[in-house]
């Protein structure tokens, strides 16, 4: 008996074949910290990749082989661009010629801590205009559980374009850790969950061509929740250790020594470290996507709210420590000069999104303090009311400042010289752990 294939089976088969042969034309929407490394990885695996971004300067830069993401070297990018494996455009009509589309657009919070889904909605509306049968779409932006099914699917599905039949839809959380040289896009295991089992199978097949390990899960909601569990776990543990740091400060116990000793326990303990507050596009933001969603289901995410409060208090704690340290030197905070070492939210990267340094600068300026900073990765930062602060050369300014605060422990800082030349140092990162000096005040 001759069995004829159904139309959906034909789409699945032809897409699978193209993916296996690496002839599938890959599209990445949103070419930031997440999208560009992903585009590079698929281009390196032999696929022809088209990146789509609204920001023309990023598109132009990529087409000239210039990387705007620190983890991607321009030489590496230029090679892929020159060989025709990677191009960028701001024109969504390119989607008409693509077989796969990964959505990597921002998912910030509104001031009210509600999710701002406008970037995903806008990207989906643009994609929808050009979506055609036989396409695999994967959302990678971190979001609340239910987004793929409740928001993305209705935006893309049409009577002649049904999910699991004519097109395929998955969620796959992005776990990239900017600045991490050991774990990159390629060797971080990739979780993927589809709207239907066929969607999951195609999503897993796609990632397995370019990435080392793929973990399939049973639904888009599970995949969405995986990311939120990971980041909520970090945020709450950082909140706990920040609260411990405040307690230890009051009791005059060295929190860093406590953590190091606790970390000698070979099981059941994982060290987290205190600091000036949370930063970046993920840890301070993602858990609130979850608490917003659970609130709708009548559940209050109390751990998240509490950790958010404690972490949000850390810049205030740092400013109080500066004030007390200056006081011990007979100086009021008002009219003092405080110099910050580092404004990026973590070491050796250039990202200042949600950086606690911005809160510290704001709080110090509100109290009448003159603030300067040094950061080899961040030439300028936008502060209150859009004013721009420019990085200072740290050589002379460290000696002039009444207090120097290590906010970001960049590897390139010369800590020995810093301690030698400054009058007073507040270390919020345990960066000068190995130094002993009456000038040093630790968090
Ligand atoms: N940065 C990280 O470390 C990280 C890690 C894991 C997950 N994530 C998640 O990945 C997503 C992207 O984050 P990111 O850090 O890459 O953001 P980003 O701001 O660096 O990049 C997003 C890009 O999307 C572009 N864009 C915005 N709207 C668009 C649209 N409608 N069409 C096309 N392009 C559009 C922007 O111009 C920008 O270049 C977010 O949901 C974030 O939470 C980020």
DSSP assignments along 270-323, one per residue: ------S---SSSTTTHHHHHHHHHHHTT---HHHHHHHHHHHHHHHHHHHHHH
Residue identifier of the C-alpha nearest atom 23 of ligand 1: 30
Mutate to test the pocket of ligand 1, among 27, 28, 31, 32 (most ligand atoms within 8 A of CB): 32
Helix (H) or strand (E) holding 441: strand 440-442
The token duo for 244 is 């411990």
pLDDT of residue 281: 85
pLDDT of residue 2: 55
Residue-wise pLDDT for 199-222, tens only, equals 999 999 999 999 999 999 999 999
Centre of ligand 1 to C-alpha 35, Å, is: 7
User: Is the predicted pLDDT of residue 305 greater than 60, yes or no?
Assistant: yes
- H helices within 105-254, ranges in order? 118-130, 147, 153-156, 197-208, 220-251
**Do β-strands 25-29 and 100-103 pair in parallel, antiparallel, or remain unpaired?**
parallel
CATH class of 235-442: alpha beta
Residue identifier of the C-alpha nearest atom 33 of ligand 1: 53
**Separation CA 170–CA 148 (nearest Å):** 7
Centre of ligand 1 to C-alpha 140, Å, is: 9
**Separation CA 19–CA 207 (nearest Å):** 9
Centre of ligand 1 to C-alpha 217, Å, is: 24
249 within 8 A of 318, measured Cβ to Cβ: no
pLDDT of residue 241: 98
Residue-wise pLDDT for 244-277, tens only, equals 999 999 999 999 999 999 999 999 999 999 999 9
Mean pLDDT of 387-401: 89
Phi/psi at 155 (nearest 5 deg)?
-75, -25
Which atom belonging to ligand 1 lies closest to the Cα atom of 30? 24
Centre of ligand 1 to C-alpha 290, Å, is: 19
**Do β-strands 425-427 and 440-442 pair in parallel, antiparallel, or remain unpaired?**
parallel
68 within 8 A of 174, measured Cβ to Cβ: no
Ranges of CATH 3.40.50.720 domains, the chain: 7-218, 235-442
pLDDT of residue 3: 61
Which atom belonging to ligand 1 lies closest to the Cα atom of 34? 16
Please provide the size of the chain in residues. 443
Which atom belonging to ligand 1 lies closest to the Cα atom of 282? 43
Which residues does ligand 1 sit against, CB inside 6 Å? 29-35, 52-55, 58, 104-107, 119, 122-123, 141-142, 174, 176, 178, 281-282
Residue identifier of the C-alpha nearest atom 15 of ligand 1: 33
Ranking 231-240, 275-284, 311-320 by mean pLDDT, the lowest is: 275-284
User: Is the predicted pLDDT of residue 1 greater than 60, yes or no?
Assistant: no
Residue identifier of the C-alpha nearest atom 7 of ligand 1: 174
pLDDT of residue 8: 80
Centre of ligand 1 to C-alpha 46, Å, is: 24
Considering the entire predicted model, what is its pTM? 0.92
DSSP state of 125: H
pLDDT of residue 396: 85
Q: Edge-to-edge strands of the sheet including 190-194?
A: 86-89, 48-52, 25-29, 100-103, 135-139, 167-171, 190-194, 214-217
Centre of ligand 1 to C-alpha 119, Å, is: 9
What are the beta bridge partners of residue 49?
26, 86
Residue-wise pLDDT for 4-56, tens only, equals 778 788 899 999 999 999 999 999 999 999 999 999 999 999 999 999 999 99
Mean pLDDT of 390-418: 93
pLDDT of residue 339: 97
Centre of ligand 1 to C-alpha 265, Å, is: 38
Which atom belonging to ligand 1 lies closest to the Cα atom of 90? 33
Which atom belonging to ligand 1 lies closest to the Cα atom of 29? 33
Residue-wise pLDDT for 165-203, tens only, equals 999 999 999 999 888 889 999 999 999 999 999 999 999
- In the predicted model, what is the mean pLDDT of the chain? 95
Mutate to test the pocket of ligand 1, among 33, 62, 116, 175 (most ligand atoms within 8 A of CB): 33
Residue identifier of the C-alpha nearest atom 20 of ligand 1: 32
Share of residues in the chain with pLDDT > 70 (%): 99
Active site residues per annotation: 282
**Separation CA 187–CA 210 (nearest Å):** 10
**Separation CA 183–CA 199 (nearest Å):** 27
User: Is the predicted pLDDT of residue 296 greater than 60, yes or no?
Assistant: yes
CATH 3.40.50.720 for domain 7-218, yes or no, is: yes
């Amino acid at each position: 008996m001759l069995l004829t294939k159904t139309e959906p089976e034909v789409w699945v088969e032809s897409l699978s074949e193209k993916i296996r042969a690496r002839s599938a034309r890959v599209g990445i929407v949103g070419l930031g910290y997440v999208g560009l490394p992903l585009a590079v990885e698929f281009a390196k695996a032999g696929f022809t990749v088209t990146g789509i971004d609204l920001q023309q300067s990023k598109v132009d830069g990529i087409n000239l082989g210039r990387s705007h993401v620190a983890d991607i070297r321009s030489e590496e990018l230029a090679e892929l661009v020159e060989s025709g494996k990677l191009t960028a455009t701001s024109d969504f009509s390119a989607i008409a010629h693509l077989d796969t589309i990964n959505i990597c657009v921002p998912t910030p919070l509104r001031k009210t801590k509600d999710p701002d889904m406008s970037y995903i909605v806008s990207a989906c509306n643009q994609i929808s205009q050009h979506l055609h049968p036989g396409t695999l779409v994967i959302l990678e932006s971190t979001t609340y559980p239910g987004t793929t099914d409740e928001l993305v699917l209705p935006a893309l599905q049409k009577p002649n374009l049904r999910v699991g039949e004519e097109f395929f839809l998955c969620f796959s959380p992005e776990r990239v850790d900017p600045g991490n040289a050991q774990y990159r896009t390629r060797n971080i295991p990739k979780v993927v969950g589809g709207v239907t089992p066929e969607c999951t199978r195609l999503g897993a097949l796609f990632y397995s061509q370019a990435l080392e390990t793929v973990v399939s899960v049973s639904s888009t909601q599970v995949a969405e929740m995986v990311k939120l569990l990971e980041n909520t776990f970090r945020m709450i543990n950082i909140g706990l250790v920040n609260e411990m740091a405040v307690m230890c400060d009051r009791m005059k116990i060295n929190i860093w020594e406590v953590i190091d000793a606790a970390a000698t326990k070979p099981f059941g303990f994982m060290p987290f470290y205190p600091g000036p507050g949370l930063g970046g596009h993920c840890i301070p933001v993602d858990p609130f996507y979850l608490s917003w969603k659970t609130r709708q289901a009548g559940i209050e995410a109390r751990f998240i709210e509490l950790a958010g409060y404690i972490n949000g208090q850390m810049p205030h704690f740092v400013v109080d420590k500066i004030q007390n340290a200056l006081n011990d030197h007979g100086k009021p905070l008002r009219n003092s000069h405080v110099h910050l070492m580092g404004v990026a939210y973590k070491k050796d990267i250039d990202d200042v999104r949600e950086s606690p340094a911005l809160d510290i600068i704001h709080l110090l300026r509100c109290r009448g303090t003159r603030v300067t900073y040094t950061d080899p990765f961040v030439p300028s930062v936008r502060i209150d009311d859009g004013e721009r602060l420019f990085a200072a050369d740290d050589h002379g300014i460290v000696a002039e400042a009444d207090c120097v605060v290590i906010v970001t422990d960049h590897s390139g800082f010369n800590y020995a010289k810093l301690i030698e030349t400054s009058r007073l140092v507040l270390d919020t990162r345990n960066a000068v752990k190995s130094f002993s000096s009456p000038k040093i005040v630790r968090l």
